[in-house]
Amino acid sequence: MIRLGFITGLILSVSMVFAQQRPHYSQYLQNMSVINPAVTGLNKGIDLRLGFRNQWQGLKDAPKTSYVTVSMPVSFGGDMANYRSSDLGVTEPTNKDDMYDYTASMSHHAFGVSFLNDKTGPLNRVAANLTYAYHLAVGDRTNVSVGVGVGTSRLGLNSSVLVFEEDGDPTVGGGGEINKYVPDLNAGIYFYGPTFYVGASMQQIIKNSLAFDGDFNVGKEVAHYFITVGNQFWINNDFSVTPSVMFKVVNPLPKAFDLNLKFSYNNKLWIGGGYRKDDAFFGTFGFNVANIVGLGYTYDYTTSNLNTVSTGSHELTLRVLF
């Protein structure tokens, strides 16, 4: 008889090989809050962002990820009670002249929520987090923020698609969906100004057991560490280029990195590309309308051995700023 714990451990081991305990994002630049809660409430107003990623298309049961994040800066108590909403959060410069007029946000609190659905084969993670960040003004043009995300994840296993040596295996009963709820904790720091950002974050601080069978105690979550750095250079008043890099450490996997290059016209239209170590080259383009609505698309060309069975990955993002 094959134990459910063994099946689950095998699936999770395969997931770890492809670093899929937490999803890949090629468009994390369009929504940094998916990897760093310190970005919560960075922009003025209510910031709504949605994303969907179809990874390794053509490969059966490959990961599919969707998310929604909402955040806003707030003022309450003490001196903050007298702040105007326009003093809280920053507005991304649209051209070089705007960059010179850029001012740091007043120090403020920020709150947000995030929802994630990540499905790989019979495994499905649904996570909900409340996020909080405090943005501190350090000088006239820079801010530093610290943030935390607290919530819960539901880990689901669709045992009805698993094949056992014996029908009616007692570890799965009648089959169907088996769920496990675990706490989720993330934290980060973010330093930013009119043209640059430097961030560091940690996801899955709580290393929960991932076993669905109480007799199997090997599988567990591992911490994910991210470092992000980028700087925007203005070629002239309207055109800019932004190189950036993201480092990711997930033990015991090899250290990984993304290299990105983005060309932008008035921050209203952009095109770019990048490389993810031992995984993919990717190209991206998108546009903003009146700095209120933004849409982005990315295609990943797989460079690993999976390119024999996969036609690549697709990712869409949508932003609405109220």
Give 62-110 pLDDT, tens digit per residue.
Answer: 889 999 999 999 876 555 555 555 678 898 899 999 999 999 999 999 9
Q: Considering the chain, what is the average pLDDT of its residues?
A: 84
Residue 10 domain-assigned (yes or no) = yes
Confidence of residue 21 (pLDDT cuts 50, 70, 90): low
Residue 314 domain-assigned (yes or no) = no
Tell whether the model's pLDDT for residue 216 goes beyond 50: no
Higher-pLDDT residue of 8, 57: 57
Higher-pLDDT residue of 13, 239: 239
Question: What confidence score (pLDDT) does residue 251 get?
Answer: 83
Question: What confidence score (pLDDT) does residue 278 get?
Answer: 86
Q: b vs e for 65-88, b when ≥16 Cβ sit within 10 Å of the residue's Cβ? A: bbbebbbbbebeeeeeeebeeebb
279-301 average pLDDT score: 91
Confidence of residue 10 (pLDDT cuts 50, 70, 90): very low
Residue 309 domain-assigned (yes or no) = no
Residue 278 domain-assigned (yes or no) = no
Sign of the C-alpha dihedral, residues 52, 57, 60, 62?
Answer: negative
201-214 average pLDDT score: 77
Range of 89-93, 207-211, 282-286, 303-307 with top mean pLDDT: 282-286
User: Could you give the percent of the chain with pLDDT greater than 90?
Assistant: 52
Amino acid 72 reads M
Confidence of residue 7 (pLDDT cuts 50, 70, 90): very low
Tell whether the model's pLDDT for residue 5 goes beyond 60: no
136-165 average pLDDT score: 86
Residue 82 domain-assigned (yes or no) = yes
Question: What confidence score (pLDDT) does residue 19 get?
Answer: 40
Query: Residue 110: in which H helix or E strand, if any?
Result: strand 108-120
Number of domains in the chain: 1
Residue 289 domain-assigned (yes or no) = no
Asked which of 106-115, 120-129, 174-183 is least confident by mean pLDDT, the reply is 174-183
Residue 104 domain-assigned (yes or no) = yes
Question: What confidence score (pLDDT) does residue 86 get?
Answer: 61
Q: Is residue 42 within 8 Å of residue 190, measured between CB atoms?
A: yes
Confidence of residue 2 (pLDDT cuts 50, 70, 90): very low
Higher-pLDDT residue of 164, 26: 26
Q: Is residue 97 within 8 Å of residue 104, measured between CB atoms?
A: no
Range of 71-85, 155-169, 266-280 with top mean pLDDT: 266-280
Residue 201 domain-assigned (yes or no) = yes
Domain of 255 in residue numbering reads as: 4-271
Sign of the C-alpha dihedral, residues 276, 279, 283, 285?
Answer: negative
Question: What confidence score (pLDDT) does residue 102 get?
Answer: 92
Task: Convert the pLDDT of each residue in 31-68 to its tens digit.
Answer: 898 999 999 999 998 999 999 999 888 888 888 999 99
| Tokens 């100004």 -> residue | 193
Question: Left, alpha or beta for 247 (phi > 0: left; psi -120 to 50: alpha)?
Answer: beta
Name the pTM for this structure: 0.84
Asked which of 11-15, 45-49, 98-102, 150-154 is least confident by mean pLDDT, the reply is 11-15
